[in-house]
Structure 1
Amino acid sequence: MDRRQVAVPVADLLDAPEGERARQVVMGQDVEVLGDGDGWCQVRVLAGGYVGYVWSSMLEEPEEVTHRVTARSTHIYPEADFKVRETVALSHGSRFTVLREVGRFFEAPQGFVPKVHAAPLDPPERDPVAVAARFLGTPYLWGGNSGFGIDCSGLVQAACLACGIDCPGDSGMQAEALGRAIGPGEALARNDLLFWKGHVAWVVDEATLLHANVFHMAVAFEGLHEAIARIEAQGDGSVILRKRLEILE
């Protein structure tokens, strides 16, 4: 396998060279190069299996990463000092190698990352909704997968991957791959998923959803029954599937 890692904070994964954004990848994610030429690489993202095109210059030889960004976003600093000017912003899910700990920072090859915004790759988190809630207020972005912009399926994928659940990138794929169908007589519970045609939302509790949506143009909480009624009234149909994930204990 020709394995590479994403070397930039966020890279658009396009449907063709110079094409439209299909999804995004963030720093430290592993990809398999399927082909390259004219400055482009066709890649398959190892986490989720999505295939698309990125600039070859956005990839680098892989290293063994040790930690991940757990906050919605963070900064890398050139020194272990919060008062110096940051060098770059990183999204949730970005991965990096810790060289050593320096006070309140992890030192990585790229610079210094606040400890409070990161954690080791293992163990995974246990509450997808809690992870998704860190994105509250993040602007809606079609095909987005980062703390700078995200869509409904990106929010589901980010939360699942943080919890060690393999997850495809699009809502249609997620409806097929994730969890088990909830029967008509079963009550909804936290971390369940509701699927519409082209949309997906997290169940927070029996009365509340959390989703990235165009109505709010952001990640937002919304009343479950109000959201179902609103989505149907705007012509996008009713809920077509309810799924329950198997959460790692």
Structure 2
Amino acid sequence: MDRRLTPATDRVAHERLRGLIDRPAFTAGHLARLAVPLADLLTAPDGRRDRQLLFGAEVTVIETRGAHSFIEAAPDGYCGWVQSAALSAERPAITHRVSAPATHLYPAPDMKQPEIASLSLGARLAVTAISGRFASLATGGHVPLQHISDAPATDPVAVAESLLGTPYLWGGNSRSGIDCSGLVQAALTACGKACPGDSDLQRAAFPATPTIRRGDLLFWPGHVALAASETLMIHATAFAMAVIWEPIPDAIARIEAAGEGPFLGAHRP
């Protein structure tokens, strides 16, 4: 079983794995929600970052060990450890998402107030009221109406374009830092399309296509980009340490010349 998609520690597994995996204990887990702007999803309580979770992410807690909890994230099923203090049992109904690259959370509906926190594209919000040009959240604080939406986006390439210049960060999923698969997941999720978190999982999830058109995913070993046209793509790349545009033929030649593998083709979400 893929560690990233298996809701089980060495001690406890999710109930649905009973009979499929050998563990001392099984549990149905309990639901929780990420209550901080951004949290690393770790390979172990003291491990490296695999991915990140954004404010409002839904999770199932499988085991709590010390200051960390092992969780299965929704909707992509990615599993790992997060700080337990980052989770809340309070789960008010989600009504909106952050649709801008990033926004600020304010203590009052007033842009001159000192901000409480920054929220990234894709953060999930429970709006309870509108006050002037601000939305009030059930979890506390206020966000500008210009930065949120109650409907999905329609063009993943345009969503990715809004993150141009975002610094590259391995395992990153936010405006503060993002990697290639994080950018693709953010773009597709914003458009209401379920998408796995890592490039190999994304390649397996979507069918191959012999042609390239806007919105297709382009793959190399360990890398993914989003086609803007037959000849242009956008991606988060360590080559530039940022989200950039790049001509597709140039990227194919550059990546192969660097010994990072051949172009593996296009897949269509």
Deviation at residue 162 of structure 1 after TM alignment: 1.0
Q: Secondary structure at the match of 2:250?
A: helix
RMSD of aligned residue pairs (Cα, Å): 1.0
Q: Secondary structure at the match of 1:176?
A: helix
Out of 97, 109, 115, which is 1:68 matched to? 97
| Deviation string, structure 1 residues 131-168 (Cα, Å, up to 9, x no partner) | 11111000000000111100000001111111111111
Q: In 2, Cα distance between the equivalents of 1:169 and 1:145?
A: 9
Alignment of 1:18 with 2:46, yes or no, is yes
Q: Which residue of 2 aligns with 1:221?
A: 245
Out of 171, 174, 181, which is 2:199 matched to? 171
Q: Which residue of 2 aligns with 1:40?
A: 68
State the TM-score, normalized to the length of structure 2: 0.87
Deviation at residue 110 of structure 1 after TM alignment: 2.2
Q: Which residue of 2 aligns with 1:189?
A: 213
Structure 1 outlier segments of 4+, above 3 Å: none
Whether the 8 Å CA contact 1:175–1:241 is kept in 2: the answer is no
Q: In 2, Cα distance between the equivalents of 1:222 and 1:110?
A: 41
Deviation at residue 63 of structure 1 after TM alignment: 2.1
Deviation at residue 211 of structure 1 after TM alignment: 0.1
Q: In 1, Cα distance between the equivalents of 2:223 and 2:202?
A: 10
| Deviation string, structure 1 residues 4-43 (Cα, Å, up to 9, x no partner) | 1001000000000111000000100101111112121100
Deviation at residue 220 of structure 1 after TM alignment: 0.5
Larger Cα-atom Rg: 2
Q: In 1, Cα distance between the equivalents of 2:158 and 2:105?
A: 24
Q: In 2, Cα distance between the equivalents of 1:214 and 1:115?
A: 34
Alignment of 1:107 with 2:136, yes or no, is yes
Deviation at residue 241 of structure 1 after TM alignment: 2.8
Q: In 2, Cα distance between the equivalents of 1:45 and 1:158?
A: 15
How many residues in Structure 1 have an aligned counterpart in Structure 2?
239
**Residue identity opposite 1:203 in structure 2:** A
| Deviation string, structure 1 residues 36-70 (Cα, Å, up to 9, x no partner) | 12121100111211100001111001221111101
Task: Choose between structure 1 and 2 for higher RCO, CA contacts under 8 A separated by at least 6 residues.
Answer: 1
| Deviation string, structure 1 residues 165-212 (Cα, Å, up to 9, x no partner) | 11111100000012x2112xx3x1100111000000000012211000
